[in-house]
């Protein structure tokens, strides 16, 4: 199973990704987590990435692309993977497409988590209290949404054109959302959802 999770900050991708990865028996590859590990470990990569992350800006594509290529080369990703937070730009999506074409392993689907903006903002301010992530400050959250709108949102069309998008209503109990995501993958595995999947009339982050 090779899946990409797509959705704005606060959509719950990370939480759902862990549950789905366990269910499908594939590794959960979160670029945000890998970057944060590098920052806390004080690696060269972490030093390069930290300022971008703290501001809520995207880290440069080539850095993230190299990081993901390395991660997907590990043996545990041979049977599949769940990508959380990557790709986040069209150039990243093109690099991933080429990488997977080289392995003759196209994506099975892209799960798009749909949550409206007021719910997202509430979740992020609640998380700020609990986790104290540097990029959950008001200013950084604003930047992360700007980055999402400008650079990540175009991926919805990029993947819809390829017939890969399955929408998941991501409001509700965590387990409920997980079940919806599984149903979206199972129910439509291999089916062409083009009509429903283009996501016209989106309600989130417009
Ligand atoms: P969220 O989805 O909550 O905004 P993530 O944990 O996925 O947060 O990512 C945190 C930060 O890590 C991003 O704001 C960005 O700076 C960096 N990052 C993660 N993935 C990517 C990526 N694919 N491309 C560029 N930057 C990334």
Q: Is 60 exceeded by the pLDDT of residue 197?
A: no
Which residue ranges make up each domain of the chain? Answer: 2-189
- Residue pair 190/138 in contact by the 8 Å Cβ criterion: no
pLDDT, tens digit, 9 for 90 and up, residues 81-93: 999 999 999 999 9
Q: Where are the beta strands (DSSP E) in the chain?
A: 2-6, 28-30, 81-84, 109-114, 165-169
- pLDDT for res 204: 55
119 vs 86: CA distance, rounded Å: 23
Instruction: Please give the structure tokens belonging to residue 114.
Output: 């749909």
Pick the catalytic residue from 23, 55, 133, 202.
133
Q: Name which residue leads in pLDDT, 140 or 150.
A: 150
Q: How far is the CA of 87 from the centre of ligand 1 (A)?
A: 10
Instruction: Say if residue 87 is preceded by a cis peptide, omega within 30 of 0.
Output: yes
Quick check: is 151 catalytic? no
Q: Is 90 exceeded by the pLDDT of residue 181?
A: yes
pLDDT, tens digit, 9 for 90 and up, residues 91-109: 999 999 999 999 999 999 9
- Residue pair 112/199 in contact by the 8 Å Cβ criterion: yes
Q: Is 70 exceeded by the pLDDT of residue 202?
A: no
Quick check: is 66 catalytic? no
Q: Stretch 39-49: mean pLDDT, rounded?
A: 96
- Residue pair 13/148 in contact by the 8 Å Cβ criterion: no
Percent of the chain whose predicted confidence (pLDDT) is above 90: 74
2-189 is classed CATH 3.30.420.480 = no
- pLDDT for res 41: 97
C-alpha torsion angle, residues 134, 46, 68, 150 (rounded to 10): 50
Name the residue with the closest Cα to ligand 1, atom 6.
32
Pick the catalytic residue from 2, 36, 88, 112.
88
- Residue pair 68/96 in contact by the 8 Å Cβ criterion: yes
Instruction: Residue 94: name the closest of 193, 194, 162, 195 by CA.
Output: 162
């Amino acid at each position: 199973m090779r899946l990409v999770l797509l959705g704005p900050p606060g959509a719950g991708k990370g939480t759902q990704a862990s549950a789905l990865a366990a269910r499908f028996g594939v590794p959960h590859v979160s670029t945000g987590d890998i970057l944060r590990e590098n920052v806390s470990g004080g690696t060269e990569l972490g030093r390069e990435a930290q300022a971008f992350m703290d501001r809520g800006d995207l880290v440069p594509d080539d850095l993230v692309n190299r990081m993901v290529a390395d991660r997907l080369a590990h043996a545990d990703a041979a049977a599949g993977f769940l990508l959380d937070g990557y790709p986040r730009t069209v150039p990243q999506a093109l690099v991933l497409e080429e990488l997977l074409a080289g392995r003759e392993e196209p994506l099975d689907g892209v799960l798009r988590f749909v949550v409206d903006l007021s719910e997202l903002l509430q979740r992020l301010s609640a998380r700020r209290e609990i986790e104290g992530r540097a990029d959950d400050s008001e200013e950084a959250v604003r930047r992360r949404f700007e980055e999402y709108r400008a650079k990540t949102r175009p991926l919805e069309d990029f993947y819809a054109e390829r017939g890969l998008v399955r929408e998941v209503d991501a409001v509700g109990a965590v387990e409920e959302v997980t079940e919806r995501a599984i149903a979206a993958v199972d129910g439509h595995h291999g089916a062409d959802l083009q009509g429903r999947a283009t996501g016209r009339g989106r309600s989130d982050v417009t």
